[in-house]
A and B are shown apart, each in its own frame.
Chain A
Amino acid sequence: MVNPLIFMHAILAEIGLFAFLWVLVELLNPTETRIERAKIAASIGAVCLLTAWLAGGFYYVEVYGSAIKPVIKASEAKWVHSIVMEVKEHVFLFLPILALLIVALLHKFDKEIIKNKDARVSIILLAGLVFLLGFSIAGMGAVISSGYRFALESGLA
Chain B
Amino acid sequence: MNPKALTRATAMTIAWVAVVTICSELSSTFKELLASIGGHHWIGKSVLSLVVFGVLYGVFAMFGNDRFSLRDTSWLIATVVLSGLAIVIFYVVHF
CB-defined contacts of B10 to chain A, threshold 8 Å = 97-98, 101
* Per-position 1/0 for A104-129, Cβ under 8 A of B: 11011100000001110110011001
B13 to chain A, nearest CB (A): 6
Count of chain A residues with Cβ under 8 Å from any Cβ of B?
Answer: 32
A122 CA to B76 CA in the complex, in Å? Answer: 10
A126 and B6 CA atoms in complex are apart in Å by 13
Q: How many residues of B contact A (CB 8 A)?
A: 34
Who on chain A is nearest to B67 by CB?
A: A118
Q: Evaluate whether A94 and B43 lie within 8 angstroms (CB atoms) in the complex, with A101-B7, A104-B6, A119-B68 already known.
A: no
Partner of B95, one of A82, A94, A126: A82
Q: Which chain B residues border A91 with CB–CB below 8 Å?
A: 84, 87
Stretch at the interface among A10-18, A26-34, A53-61: A53-61
B interface list, Cβ under 8 A from A: 1, 3, 6-7, 10, 13-14, 17-18, 21, 39-40, 42-43, 45-46, 49, 53, 68-70, 72-73, 76-77, 80, 83-84, 87-88, 91-92, 94-95
